[in-house]
Amino acid sequence: MILTTTNTVEGRPITAYHGIVVGEAIMGANIVRDFFASVTDVIGGRSGAYESKLKDARDEAMAEIEDRARATGANAVVGIDLDYEVIGDSMLMVSVSGTAVTIE
């Protein structure tokens, strides 16, 4: 399965469109992690805890979009868009959408 943010795959013509597919993941970050992340934010540096949670959510959403595309008979998803949202104080949402297609 090819997953790409571009609208085409160079050298591989699209032979069929199967529609829009979406993958979503919502992850909670626990209060201890939130506390240490806020300390990191105050003293500077990167928050590994949140980076890890974002990666997990992104990986889950991408796996979901791939599964949904495969279920339509597609072998690629083009035009992928990733969106990140914060829900409440400690929920992270990643939404991934794209067009499921068959390419040669």
Report pLDDT digits (tens) over 10-51: 999 999 999 999 999 988 765 445 545 555 554 555 666 667
Question: What is the pTM (predicted TM-score) of this model?
Answer: 0.79
Average pLDDT over residues 66-90: 92
User: Is there a contact between 1 and 77 (Cβ–Cβ < 8 Å)?
Assistant: yes
The secondary structure of residue 39, as a DSSP letter, is H
